[in-house]
Structure 1
Amino acid sequence: MTIAKFQDGGAVTMTSLELVDFINGRRAEDDPVLDHADFMKKVPRVLKKDAGKFSDIYFDSMNRRQKCYRFPKRESCLMAMSYSYDLQAAVFDYMTELEQRLAQQNAFVLPRTRAEAMRLAADLEEQNEVLALENQQQAETIASLESLFMTGETPTQFCKRLNGVNCSRVNSSLLALGWLWDAATEENSKPRYRVASRVRDRYLTERPRKISAEGVDPFIKYDLVLLIDGARRLHQLYMKSELAMKSKWDGQHTLAKYDGSAN
């Protein structure tokens, strides 16, 4: 979710990518994962001639321009309603909450006395100090994350250095998030994870490799490869404790740099 500026002032918006993530995050376990490409095709059918007003772009992990949409509240709700009334209500409530936060941020009362002006100046100075500290902490976190990320590693390898994550359930968590799908064709067979198109080259990519074993027909295995934007998103989910965590986790969100000894 982002807050953007329009000609008529501040407004809360959602991109088509964010709406797809929002919808997938609320789907039932048996419901299919919504793909961004399918969502993009649906927009002109729902918004008709107005769809072009909300065209936007984003840059993927390879810095390529990709098409998307950016919707204000009304159109976000219309798109959500095309899937279900419950989703429409969820989007409406969420964006209303963000509008209230934005209004609180923009609220400003001019001081009427010298004492009020001095208190305001002191409050602003304190807020600036807090903001500077938060910016420093954010910069340190980003630097730590970049040192944590290793090009070519899998999501599981990355999560092994996030304290408390249940690494045996990383791929199943990504499956639930809609980042992966299971290409296994036989019931009860070992999962063969593939990268979902909506996150391919954005959060993850995959590397094919041929597997040959005695008594088994050769097949292609796709190794999952985490991208830096995917690492950032995984870290965000980790900080919110939204990844599968170990039952004996100590509750501390700490990172460990790669030292070659992780198993």
Structure 2
Amino acid sequence: MNQIAFSEQAKQQTLTMSTRLVAELTGKEHFNVKRDCDVMFKELQIDALKFEGIYLDSMNRQQTEYLLPKDLVETLITGYSIKLRYQVIQRLHELESQLQPRPTIPQTYSEALQLAANQARQLELAAPKVEYYDKIVERSTLLNASQVAQKIKISAVKLNKLLDIFDVYHKGVKRARLFQQWFIDKGFGEVKQTELGFSQPMFTTKGEAWVIEKLTSEGLV
């Protein structure tokens, strides 16, 4: 006796419950549940034929029932007692859990190997995206001198000269600029390697804020 069915929307895994199952769960006569449905359909101005189904009774005769989606089941039982509503809702939850996709567990050693290979392939395909994302994040949180200078409308050359005054750069390093250790320790900057292998000082957003505040407070910008 098939009391749980799927409507035409079954391809989308839309759960329906038959009025026979509602009657069984609530202890009501099936014809009374169908009568309640007819009242509901009339109030909601819904065509009952959309939900009508056929089943065979114990004497192999064709009988009609309604196959209701979850929202109409809940609407139907609103007027029932708390206990009856609870029984129907519990069953709805059970049926919904059965519709949830479950992970496929390998049944053989070869299936387990294939699953591992598929997962490794997915990680391999994702690796370039992860690397690209890391680069984007780094670029979005670290700024070079030119980018900081643009924020305060001066050239990078002028900015670097001003920062030399405040002992931001290492004076002992020629042909390159490196931050003083105090600047790095405070989280104001980092030294990164370029693709050509050169060291490049990069300002953090915290360092950018310090530079702007320092030069503004000193009246230099």
Q: Which of the five TM-score ranges fits, normalised by the shorter chain? A: 0.3 to 0.5
Higher RCO, Cα 8 Å, sep 6+ = 1
- Given the two structures, how large is their TM-score scaled by the length of structure 1? 0.35
**TM-score, normalisation: structure 2:** 0.41
Considering fraction of residues, name the structure with more strand: 1
